[in-house]
Every structure is written in structure tokens, then in C-alpha cells.
Amino acid sequence: MGLQRPLPEDTCDVTTADDDLPAASRQMTSSFLTDVLTGLSAPLKQVPPKYFYDEAGSHLFDRICELPEYYVTRTELGILQDSAADMAQALGPGVLLIEPGSGNSAKISLLLAQLQDPVGYVPVEISGEHMLASLEAVRAQFPDLEILPVCDDFTAPFTVPTSSRAPSRRVVFFPGSTLGNFPPHDAVELLRSFHEVAGPDGALLLGADLRKAPEIVLPAYDDSAGVTAAFNRNLLVRMQRELGADLDADAFRHQAVWNDAESRIEMHLVSTAAQTIRVGGQCFEFAAEEPIVTEYSYKYTRERLAGLATEAGFRVAQVWTDAREWFSVQLLTRN
């Protein structure tokens, strides 16, 4: 399904020159092209949201997290600030903390500061340069912590590097409601992969956005400053740069809609006129107002999330929420 590649501390190959791309980068480019060709060939055109996160996209997402409309990050940070000590007590001493999709590593510091004698931290991120830059602050705050970064796509199998000290247990930390980007069947498969990564006696500390009124949710995905729109259109810019796609990124507009029946936000890139995208030796015709689906963001009830966890072999051990119950951080343990 994907390259499995452990990387030692301080190494994360992010070379981008075509002539000397490492195997992992070539694999990633190949997967990007395959997913674009497959997605644009579908009756409802789509591109997976994991391709948002090149270096430019990662920086744009950091800006989104600071927007007044984007309640998700500040609400989860508030939960971590209030309850990280309780979470650390529930996790126990000597854990190896693994964070798929680590991004800017902002939330991990709140948890690391409360953990008792953690043996190491394994961030897993598809955007290597962004990850390594963000780890500077973590290294400065926790100079004695062994950090083992992995440049890889966490939706495919990856190998967890071996820490110098044996952990008491592995804990997968998956904040930020990223699970909501996956349709229910795929979400269960992702949770199953984390179940395997956690191993015997392991656990998953999961961030999940809870269902709430659409008038609260929608502005978080269509902000007045247009940062989310730029983040969405950057996917097209990346297709031009990395895949040589012949397209006009300005001929697509950002759209966010609430699908109540599915309890999800849908992000689209909508063609503003009839046009053709050429990529990978293929042509894809667009009618005016035809969308590319770029992201789903499911909003869960507690019951629905518990059902997904059960299907994946977990049980809900503890739940922490904000006072309004807009967001939750849930401790899932293996059955």
C-alpha cells in the first residue's frame, strides 16, 4: 500500500529536484498522480485531502487554525490545556508517543509537558520540511526527549522507529479531527491501522469534532479572509507544479456546503466555466459549476464515534470535552 521507511533522528529527506528524488518522494509523486487520475475519472470528481499538505498548504493550514471562525483548533487546545494532566495520568509513565499527521506540533507540547518520563516522540508527516521546522520548538522545550521523525503518508503502512529505551506502551496521538476527513468505512480502516501501530496494551488518544449547528460549522470552512479558499486552490497549484497539469487554478472557486444527512462539511473546487484539465497524458472535461470534491469533514455524535471505535477493535475508555461539547478528545484502548 505504501513505502514503509523508518528514519533516524534529525533525518527526513525532502529533496524535490527530479533527478535526485529519493525513493519515498518518487513514490509520493507517483501516488499523487495515480490518485488524481483516478479521482478525476470518477463520476463525481475528487482528489484526496491528504494532498493539501505540501509546504505551502501546511503553512496555509497553520493560518486557518488561527482564524476566528475556525473553532476546531482553539477548542481542542482548550481541552488539552485543562485536561492534559488527566490524560497523562490515564496513559501512564514511559510511553512512546506516535503522532500521525503531526503538522506544526503545537498540541503535542501540552501533552508531553504532562507525561511522566516518556521514552520518545514519533511525528509522522507527509510534508517533511514543515515537520522538521516545527520540531525545532519541541526539541528546545524537551531537550532530553528522543524524537524520531518519519516522513511518510500515515494513511499507508509505516514503520515506527525503535526508541533507545523500551516503552511501557505505545500511544497514538491523533488530534485535530482529521478522522472526520475519512468516510465511515475508511475511518474504521484507519482506526484499525492505528490499532496495529499501538500494539498490545497500546492506546489511541483521538481528537473528534462533535455535531453542532451548521451556522457554527460552515464559517470554519469558508472564512471571510479567504484563507481556506487559498488552501483549497493550492491543491490545483500543486498539481501544476508537481504533475505538470495544464489548468487554470483561478478558474475554480472554493465552496463549502453542509450535508445534514451525512453529518459532514464538503469542500469543493467549482469550475467557473466549461474547461479542460490535462494531466498525466489524459484530458478531463468540466462543465460550468461542476465540482471537484476535495474534503469531507464528518461531525460525530458520541454514539457514532463509539461505534466506529468498536468496529476497529477499540473501546472508549475516557472522554474529555469543552463546556459547550463542540469537540472531544477520547482515549480509546484496545479490546
pLDDT of residue 11: 36
Set of cell numbers at residue 275:
474547461
**10 or 192, which is more confident:** 192
Least confident span in 7-21, 137-151, 227-241: 7-21
Per DSSP, what are the bridge partners of residue 271? 252
pLDDT of residue 156: 87
pLDDT digits (tens, 9 = 90+) for 260-317: 999 999 999 999 999 999 999 999 999 999 999 999 999 999 999 999 999 999 999 9
CB distance 11 to 123 below 8 Å: no
Least confident span in 84-93, 144-153, 278-287: 144-153
pLDDT above 90 covers a percentage of the chain that reads: 79
Instruction: Indicate the SS3 state at residue 233.
Output: helix
CA 326 to chain CA centroid, Å, is 19
- Tell me the pLDDT band of 205, cut-offs 50, 70 and 90: very high
Residue located via cell numbers 521514552: 119
Give the chain's domains with CATH numbers: 1-6+21-240+299-335 (3.40.50.150)
Residue 140: how many CB atoms within 10 A of its CB?
Answer: 8
- What is the mean pLDDT of the segment spanning 95-109? 87
Q: Is the pLDDT of residue 5 over 50?
A: no
- Tell me the pLDDT band of 162, cut-offs 50, 70 and 90: very high
pTM of the complete model beyond 0.75:
yes
Q: Is the pLDDT of residue 1 over 60?
A: no
pLDDT digits (tens, 9 = 90+) for 224-244: 999 999 999 999 999 999 999
Residues 332 and 317: their CA atoms lie apart, in Å, by 6
- What is the mean pLDDT of the segment spanning 132-148? 90
Residues 6+ apart with CB under 8 A from 112: 97, 118, 121, 138, 141, 142, 145
Residue 117: how many CB atoms within 10 A of its CB?
Answer: 10
- What is the mean pLDDT of the segment spanning 177-181? 94
CB distance 154 to 101 below 8 Å: yes
- Tell me the pLDDT band of 130, cut-offs 50, 70 and 90: low
Q: Is the pLDDT of residue 28 over 70?
A: no
Q: Is the pLDDT of residue 26 over 90?
A: no
Residue 288: how many CB atoms within 10 A of its CB?
Answer: 10
